[in-house]
Amino acid sequence: MFGNKKFDGNKLKYGIYYAIAVAIIMFFLNDYVVNVKTQHIKYSDFMTYVSQNKVKEVQITRDKIVITPKTKEGEKSKILYTEKVDDPDLIKKLDAAHVQYGGAPQENNPIKNFFINWILPIIIFMFLGRILFGRLDKKMGSGVMSFGKNTAKIYAENETGVNFNDVAGQEEAKESLVEIVDFLHNPKKYTDIGAKLPKGALLVGPPGTGKTLLAKAVAGEAKVPFFSISGSAFVEMFVGMGASRVRDLFEQAQEKAPCIIFIDEIDAIGKSRDGNITGNDEREQTLNQLLAEMDGFDSSKGVVILAATNRPEVLDKALLRPGRFDRRVIADRPDLKGREEILKVHSKGVKMSESVDLNAIAKGTPGAVGADLANIINEAALRAVKSNRKEVMQEDLEEAVEVIIAGKEKKDRILSDKEKRSVAFHEVGHALVAALLKNTDPVHKITIVPRTMGALGYTMQLPAEEKYLITKEEMIDQICVMLGGRAAEEVEFNTMSTGASNDIERATQTARSMVTMYGMSERFDLMGLESIQNRYLDGRPVLNCSAETAAIIDEETLKIIKEAHKKVINLLKDNRTLLTEISERLLEKETLMGNEFMEMVKGDKSLENSSVEEQE
């Protein structure tokens, strides 16, 4: 879209190199072809062939004699040649053997011969080479012959098609970026007072929260060119090309200033450098060039660098120092209000029924990011089309949420009566423990309909309100709810099944976090034993202790789980009649909504637990 003047000169240079290479190849190829078709013999051998009547024709040139031998039928002919010697009897001997002879025809147009033998093959080879490398360019993405040329997608003014109105659920992030937009609109207001705009802003957050969308919105609001490139695109096939691409990108940006450069997944080239001998030299060269370019350009010209990552902890410290990426903008998971606003944005182009309640969907999707919510709207629209409806209903949205969480209904999976009964008691065990304990979220739905993601059934709980802190009592009750399914199987069937594997895994993780991270263990008190890596990705915990301490951590974790398990067993034994009654209803209907479930729980006269009333 925007030409690269520097590369035009390189293009001519590479074209000349290519032509020279083809000419050399043609020279040796021509020599090879000649050698394949002809064979040198001694003059004495030639005279022997003549005397034996084996020569058909002879052509005498200035410096050699070209011989065409006689061949048998079906035999391939071979051209022979020998050096020309001063032999006055040659013609007599040829006449005596009845051999046809003559001189070589003189070339009447040497220019034409040169063009046909040399220029035309070079042109053909260059044409075929262009086609070949053009196909390789498409297969290799950025181009196998692009060398140091950057591969950024360049959007002209207004071409991003995105502004801040298209970004919802990230109000704090937008506020942080408004200043950059204002500077690009009114730079004099800042330069007059001596202020300098930050050269770079780093967008940090989990995948799907809208970091790329925010960057495009900044360019759309500022109405300036937008250069977008992935961090991995700087380093590809040829060693040393990454640094060249960085230089080329910044040269183009300076020409188009004011503009915005956006580097997505910058951790691909911005990882912290170390003294490890096995380090990636190419990546480090690219990073060094990026640091040098960020130091070298004048931010007052209006070149702003935005970058996105979900792994800020791995970035090189030099990249984050003041004067480079010195501003960090957090794009975190949206809260309830943010999720509702995101749903409204993505539903603008979708025909929605007037009865649709997006607030209810937002409440039912805690922890969802913008990409998840956009997917929910799209799944709901697809379901409406499949049902031959002209607009999306609330039931479409609710089913879409379940599809995202657990997958589609697996209608071809038929469970035996015994397995189905086990699943029903398992799920009711979760739900009943949640209803009977005080510090748990209300039950929204219980189902034993198998889903494609492997669940034979599930119990959905939704928080009554957004929570940002969890107490020790709430964490213990969460563990109890997770163990409720296994406990129900033990109480009803006096056995265990594999259906509780995920529950046990999550309960163990929660109990371990209480011990190692939250200071909720009497043994370790307020001692921190674990840290989180990749906070915005999988949040994987890493132990910071000795093997002996790790063994004690396991003991403390097991102690919490055993106490919770014992508590749940006793709770379900005390309410076994209710457990059986609700399980039988679930077997009959396959799905119970939260209000119907709670009516059955509250209708049991034997219950004296006040927490049931609190979950109403």
Buried residues in 275-290 as b, exposed as e (16+ CB within 10 A):
eeeeeeebbbbbbbbb
Sign of CA dihedral 466, 470, 475, 477: negative
Task: Centre a 10 Å sphere on the Cβ of residue 413 and count the other Cβ atoms it contains.
Answer: 11
The number of CA neighbours under 13 Å toward the Cβ of 13 is 6
**592, 445 contact by CB (below 8 A):** yes
**360, 340 contact by CB (below 8 A):** no
- Report the distance separating Cα 430 and Cα 263, nearest Å: 46
**483, 570 contact by CB (below 8 A):** no
Q: Which helix (H) or strand (E) holds 8?
A: helix 5-37
- Whether cis (ω within 30° of 0) applies to the bond prior to 450 is no
**93, 47 contact by CB (below 8 A):** yes
**270, 315 contact by CB (below 8 A):** yes
Q: Which of 329, 343, 306 is nearest to 169 (CA)?
A: 343
- In this structure, what token pair is assigned to residue 593? 């909504």
Binding residue positions for ATP: 205-212
Binding residue positions for Zn(2+): 426, 430, 503
Residue 540, SS3 per DSSP: strand
Q: Which helix (H) or strand (E) holds 561?
A: helix 547-574
- In this structure, what token pair is assigned to residue 525? 């008190």
The number of CA neighbours under 13 Å toward the Cβ of 20 is 6
Binding residue positions: 205-212, 426, 430, 503
What are 201's strand-pairing partners? 306, 327
> Token pair 């889903």 is at which residue?
451
Computed on alpha carbons and rounded to an integer, the radius of gyration of the chain in Å comes to: 39
At residue 109's C-alpha, the angle toward residues 107 and 110, to 5°, is 80
Residue 551, SS3 per DSSP: helix
Residue 71, SS3 per DSSP: coil
* φ and ψ of 552, to 5 deg: -70, -35
Residues taking part in catalysis: 427
Buried residues in 337-372 as b, exposed as e (16+ CB within 10 A):
ebbbbbbebbbeeeebeeebebeebbbbbbebbbbb
Residue 174 one-letter amino acid: K
One DSSP character per residue, 243-310 reads HHHHHHHHHHHHHH-SEEEEEETTHHHHBPP---TTS-HHHHHHHHHHHHHHHHS-GGG-EEEEEEES
* φ and ψ of 327, to 5 deg: -125, 130
> Token pair 């198998």 is at which residue?
450
